[in-house]
Structure 1
């Protein structure tokens, strides 16, 4: 399977493994997430029969992807996928923990102009994030043992 990646929601490229093996390449890309530098990373499959440029420009990109935001020291990971029931859903990846009350950990990105708020068990550092992204690259899935918290991406409808 072929993948593309997008950095900071504006620069995309085909994920090409050349000098480093795939896990090391993913680790390198994730290690570049620093304040004032890169702050988001998305990895998505390209369906067979498409080349990167045609797919991205004509199809608009994949509805299925794994993404993260923050820094290499503290990031949130989100998985957008099609569930077994055919529904398009967005999840926040976590270790599983107490989710009583509202999420309390802010993960700033885009130079602090945006922030994701998650539970403490949903914060990842570089090495573990690299493992998760590598598994996704290999299988299209995240490793077993993680919990997914559904995150509703629909905007509130305006009141009449």
Structure 2
């Protein structure tokens, strides 16, 4: 087992160090993602721990992370990062060559169907596909080529609607 460098979070609540004591990191990530069932385990997040953090002492949160929600058969992936202007941006992750015209059509349910997100067809991943994206993020803190990012424009406060404005 190596010194843990990353933190994972289940369902937005339970956090802990991602460890490789049972299997190597790529296999551990794939194992975890294949357990996402949409009900008792419906979301998983991953981020790098601060340099020198003692993960036995505390499990710090980060403003930058990768996350997914859904089931092992249909996951929506997102990445949040702080851009050069200092502002956080959250992006949907998609496979190359997707069409983002019109509104998204694929509904991903999670939290025992209490919640959902709607994405484009090329933004739906299986657990095995997502494991490749997550492992690359684990290694580099980036979403690598050939994957595409779509800005979700989650700024707060929400921009005012243009309806009725002349």
RMSD of aligned alpha carbons: 1.8
Residue 3 of structure 1 aligns with which residue?
Answer: 6
The secondary structure found in structure 2 opposite 1:54 is: coil
Gaps of 5+ in 2: 162-166
Conserved? CA contact 2:7–2:59, under 8 Å: no
For the structure 1 residues 111 and 104, does the alpha-carbon distance in structure 2 shift closer, same or farther, using more than 3 Å as the test?
A: same
* Greater fraction helix: 1
After superposition, give the CA deviation of every residue in 1:39-82 in whole Å (9 maximum; x if it has no partner): 100001111122234352xxxx1000000000110001000012
Q: Output aligned runs, 1:59-138, within 5 Å.
A: 61-95=61-95, 96-138=97-139
Residue 54 of structure 1 aligns with which residue?
Answer: 58
Aligned-partner Cα distance in 1 for 2:89–2:74: 24
* TM-score, normalised by the number of residues in structure 1: 0.89
Gaps of 5+ in 1: none
Aligned-partner Cα distance in 2 for 1:113–1:151: 21
Aligned-partner Cα distance in 2 for 1:122–1:71: 14
* TM-score, normalised by the number of residues in structure 2: 0.86
Aligned-partner Cα distance in 1 for 2:93–2:11: 20
Residue 18 of structure 1 aligns with which residue?
Answer: 21
Give 1 or 2 for the bigger CA radius of gyration. Answer: 2
Range 92-101 or range 16-25, more displaced = 92-101
User: How many residues were matched structurally?
Assistant: 155
